Amino acid sequence: MQRSASRKRVAVTGASGLIGSALVRSLRADGHDVLRLVRRPARTADEVEWDPARLYVDAAGLVGVDAVVHLAGAGVGERRWNEAY
């Protein structure tokens, strides 16, 4: 698949979260190809399976990716942030 020089292929972890879902919409609106890394078997062509607990990612699904944005992890509004957390 040929892409224009300005069109990028971007993989995003945490794509279903508050910030991730907004980023995915914005990237797509700007004409970029977005792959969502999901922690279950991929169901659609824009998903790539990964399982950080097993140290597994479907590397073949990431071929041609120009950038990865990692947003998975602790949510900003899930709980009160303090020094211990």
Strands 9-13 and 56-57 turn out to be: unpaired
pLDDT surpasses 60 at 2: no
DSSP class per residue in 13-53 = ESTTSHHHHHHHHHHHHTT-EEEEEESS---STTEEEEEGG
64: left (phi over 0), alpha (psi -120 to 50) or beta: left
* pLDDT for the residue 85: 74
Provide the percentage of residues in the chain whose pLDDT is more than 90.
74
Q: List pLDDT tens digits, range 40-57.
A: 999 999 999 999 999 999
Q: Which residues contact 16 (CB under 8 A, 6 or more apart)?
A: 36, 38
What are the extents of the domains in the chain?
9-70
Say how far apart CA 6 and CA 67 lie, in whole Å. 13
